[in-house]
Structure 1
Amino acid sequence: MERGRSMAAAALIGVAVMAAVDEIVFHQLLGWHHFFDRSTPAVGLLSDGLLHTAELLGLVAGFVLWADLRRRGTLSAAHAWAGLLLGAGGFQLFDGLINHKVFRLHQIRYVPDLLLYDLAWNGAALALLAAGAVLAARARRRTGAAGRDGTETGR
């Protein structure tokens, strides 16, 4: 089993899925913001299109890596599930802290008091990260430490 590659491939999928959820729900369905809101509406739509392109490329690349692991019989499903949640939570937290607060590319929603939105957004990210960390720890205990050649040593 390739634990690290299983986790990395699924983490890429998790990042892309969370980007898709963000874009579909908050950018398109609710219309709360665009990826880049500090310019014209046309630039906002362009930035959403670029985000959509990146998320699709991430999904394709992640699933190609995942399929290769499955084809070779080296996919660790337990590590992949952990990676999926870690990737999704990592994207969500990066978006909430870096894109929203540091770079100020956009806010979750343009309202006078953002605190509840920020707490919910970043709280959801932390919950995904915590669930992914728990799954990663369980997967590591279940499969044992990897040997020098990358194979599982088992317990």
Structure 2
Amino acid sequence: MGERSEALNYASRNIWAGILFGIGVAAFLDETIFHQLLAWHHFYDQSTKSVGLISDGLFHAFSWFATIGGLFIVADLRRRHAFHFKRWWGGELLGSGCFQLYDGTIQHKLMKIHQIRYVDHILPYDLIWNGIAIILIIAGILLTYQTRDSRKHMGGTA
């Protein structure tokens, strides 16, 4: 593999490591805050409370697998002196935002497996949830765009 091809591969791996980590962190925060602490909903609300709790446990396990998977890639990138924090952070924001937008549109509205909260006026909750997701996605795109030439910086962790 040529030097240029290897640098592009590492630049892409930084983004994917961030995306995996971002998905895991967003899922973890969603499950911890909205499922456990606030008890607004379960991952799957179309059955009994026991099924909802089991679905939360599986969702929690998924979040940790994604988080740890992203960290394994980071460890490999650091070992190769190819970790680029800003590029990784852009991927993290993209992963978090895309997960949240997927959750708010596909799971909440299309599949209807749960809502953010069961109240009469759900629109403000939906707008805030999806609005934050869009802000995260835009920030992630901006960071990855800024670091698109990061192959020049693949020698360090800056």
Provide the TM-score with structure 1 as the length reference.
Answer: 0.90
The structural deviation recorded for 1:77 is 1.8
- Matched letter for residue 79 of structure 1: R
> Aligned pair 1:20/2:16, yes or no?
no
> Aligned pair 1:121/2:126, yes or no?
no
Tell me the SS of whatever aligns to 2:112. coil
- Sequence identity percentage: 47
Q: 1:95: which partner in 2? A: 103
The structural deviation recorded for 1:144 is 6.4
- How do residues 1-155 of structure 1 correspond to structure 2 at under 5 angstroms? 1=7, 2-141=10-149, 143=150
The structural deviation recorded for 1:76 is 2.0
Q: Could you list the runs of 5+ residues in structure 2 that have no partner in the other structure?
A: 1-6
Tell me the SS of whatever aligns to 1:64. helix
The structural deviation recorded for 1:74 is 1.2
User: What is the distance in 1 between the residues matched to 2:12 and 2:86?
Assistant: 11
Aligned length: 146
Q: 2:4: which partner in 1? A: none
Tell me the SS of whatever aligns to 1:140. coil
